[in-house]
Amino acid sequence: MVHDLVNQLRSFLPPEAVLFETEDLKPYECDGLSAYRQTPLLVVLPQTEKQIIQVLQLCYKTKTPVVARGAGTGLSGGALPHAEGVLMSLAKLNQIVEIDAAARTARVQPGVRNLAISEAAVPYGLYYAPDPSSQIACSIGGNVAENSGGVHCLKYGLTVHNILKLRVLTIDGECLEIGGQSLDSAGFDLLALMTGSEGMLGIVTEITVKLIPVPEKAQLVMAGFDDVQKAGNAVANVIAAGIIPAGMEMMDKITIHAVEEFLQAGYDLDAAAILLCESDGSVEEVADEIERINTIMLKSGATKVSLSRNEAERLSFWAGRKAAFPAAGRVSPDYYCMDGTIPRKHLADVLRGIEELSVEYGLRCMNVFHAGDGNLHPLILYDANQPGELERTEEFGGKILEMCIHAGGTITGEHGVGMEKINQMCSQFRTGELEMFHAVKAAFDAEGLLNPGKAVPTLHRCAELGAMHVHSGEERFPDLPRF
C-alpha cells in the first residue's frame, strides 16, 4: 500500500518531495510537544497550491488521513502525525505574495514565518501585531490553525482579530475563499470558524493579514513584587483603571531566575514575581499611561518599579520573557507547557492552587503567562527518564486545566487542544456541545480524514473517561468561586 501511494504521489511531485524511509520520517514524528511521538506513514513537501490539491484529491480517493504541518513549533500535539496517514509539510509555501501599504494588508503563504511579515513591512512603517514567543520560527499558517496570540495580544488581539481573508482547500481539493478585504462579509462568520480549527476543516494556502502602523513610542514598566498574589491583584487593578496596555506579562521567582541566568535581561532577582507592562502610542499618550501604571503598581504593593530607558532596554526586557521556554530547558531535563485561560480576577487564586498542586505532585512549576488576558502558561518541570514522572506530570497538568474550567475559564488560550488536552474537552463541554462540534467537522470533512483524532473527543471516549462536567459533581477546588 505504501509503495503504491508513493508511486502515485511521485507522478505529480518530485521524488525528493515524497519521504517514506524511516530515517527521513523521524524528524516529523512530533511538534514542539515532544512528549507525544508518532511516525507518519509518509511525508510530502508540496511547493504549489496545485500540488496540494492533487495530494488532497489522491488522499480523498484512497481514504488516507492527512495531517498538515507548519514549522513544528506547536505545543499541544496538534501536528502529531497519523500512523496510517500522510503528513503534509507546508514549509515550502513561504512567499510573501503582496504587501498593500495603502490598504495596510499583506497576502502571504502559510509557510511564511510570523516575524518575516513584520520584517517585510518595515519599509512601509507597518507591522503584524500578533507575536507568539516562537515568532522567529513559527509559521503564519500554524498561527491560523491554533489562533495564536503573543505578548501584545491584550491590546491588538489574537490571530483571528488580525486576518481578513483565507484561501482554503477542502479534503476533496475544492478551493474556498473565506472572508474578504472589507471588515465584514455576508453569511456566516466562517473566517472565525476556520481560525483555530487545528487543520481539521481545511488546508490554508493563503492568508491576508492586517498590518498596523509602528507606534511612535513604546515604553515598558517592570514591577517587582514580594508576593505572587499581589502581582496578580496588580493586573486586575490596571485593567480596572480603564488601561489596556500593549502587553502585560507575569513571571514567578523560579522563572525570573531561570531567564536571568539564561539571558541576563536585567530582571529583579529578589522579587517573588514580576510584571512587564507596556504602553505604546504617541509620545503624550505613553507618558500619561506610564505614569498611571507606575502609580497603580506602587499602590498594589510593588517593591521595585523600573522603566525602560531606551528601545534597547525595552527589547531586552521582552527578550527575557520570550526566552522563558528555552530557559526552562537549562534547569530541567524536560518541561511540559500548559495553556489555559481564566478570568483575570481569579489570577491570584489559581496561582495559589498551582502552588498547592506543585507540592502535592512533588514537581516544580515555572509560571509565565499573558497576565493581561488571563492566559496561563505553567511550565511543569520533570525528567522523562524517571519512570512514571511523565504520567505524574500529565495528571498535574490536567488538574491545572480543570482548575481553569472551575474558575470560569477554558482549557486553552492559544496553543489549541491537539492531543494534549483532548480528555479535558470532556470536562469542559456537554454531550450536546460535542455533538455540534462533530457536526461542524462532518460538514467540511465527512470522512474524517483531516487531522483525525485531534481537538474534539468522541462521545465514546468521554463516556470511558467518566469525566465530571464542571456543571455538576463534586467540588474539586472548593476555594475557587463556582460558576
The pLDDT, as a whole number, for residue 347 is 86
Q: Which long-range contacts (CB under 8 A, 24 or more apart) does 94-98 make?
A: 94/139, 96/120, 97/206
Cα–Cα distance, 260 to 246 (Å, whole number): 23
Tell me: pLDDT of 473 over 80.
Answer: no
The pLDDT, as a whole number, for residue 474 is 41
User: Within 13 Å, how many C-alpha atoms sit on residue 43's CB side?
Assistant: 25
Residue spans of alpha helices (H) in 70-187: 114-121, 140-146, 153-156
State the average pLDDT for the chain: 93
Cα–Cα distance, 143 to 153 (Å, whole number): 13
- CA angle centred on 30, ends 12 and 21, rounded to 5°: 45
| H or E, element range at 99 | strand 96-100
The number of residues making up the chain comes to 483
Q: Which residue(s) pair with 47 in the sheet? A: none
Nearest partner of 465 among 436, 417, 431, 415, judged by Cα? 431
Q: Pairing mode, if any, of strands 86-89 and 66-69?
A: parallel
Tell me: pLDDT of 232 over 90.
Answer: no
The pLDDT, as a whole number, for residue 468 is 44
Categorize the per-residue pLDDT at 229 as very low, low, confident or very high, splitting at 50, 70 and 90: confident
What domains can be seen in the chain, in order of their start residue?
Answer: 2-89 (3.30.43.10), 97-213 (3.30.465.10), 217-326 (3.30.70.2190), 332-465 (3.30.70.2740)
133-163 pLDDT per residue, tens: 899 999 999 999 999 999 999 999 999 999 9
SS3 label, residue 46 = coil
Nearest partner of 63 among 414, 446, 456, judged by Cα? 446
Categorize the per-residue pLDDT at 186 as very low, low, confident or very high, splitting at 50, 70 and 90: confident
Residues 170-199 have a mean pLDDT of 92
Tell me: pLDDT of 356 over 70.
Answer: yes
Cα–Cα distance, 95 to 279 (Å, whole number): 32
Q: How far is CA 210 from CA 127, 274, 336, 385, 393, in A?
A: 9, 32, 33, 45, 39
Cα–Cα distance, 268 to 128 (Å, whole number): 31
To which residue does cell 507568539 refer?
132
Tell me: pLDDT of 400 over 60.
Answer: yes
**261-282 b/e with 16+ CB inside 10 Å = b?**
ebbebebbeebbbbbbbbbbbe
SS3 content of the chain, % helix, strand, coil (to 5): 40, 20, 40
The pLDDT, as a whole number, for residue 383 is 96
Nearest partner of 176 among 212, 142, 201, 154, judged by Cα? 201
302-354 pLDDT per residue, tens: 999 999 999 999 999 999 998 998 899 899 999 999 999 999 888 888 988 99
Q: Which residue(s) pair with 365 in the sheet? A: 380
Categorize the per-residue pLDDT at 185 as very low, low, confident or very high, splitting at 50, 70 and 90: confident
pTM: 0.93
Name the DSSP letter for residue 164.
E
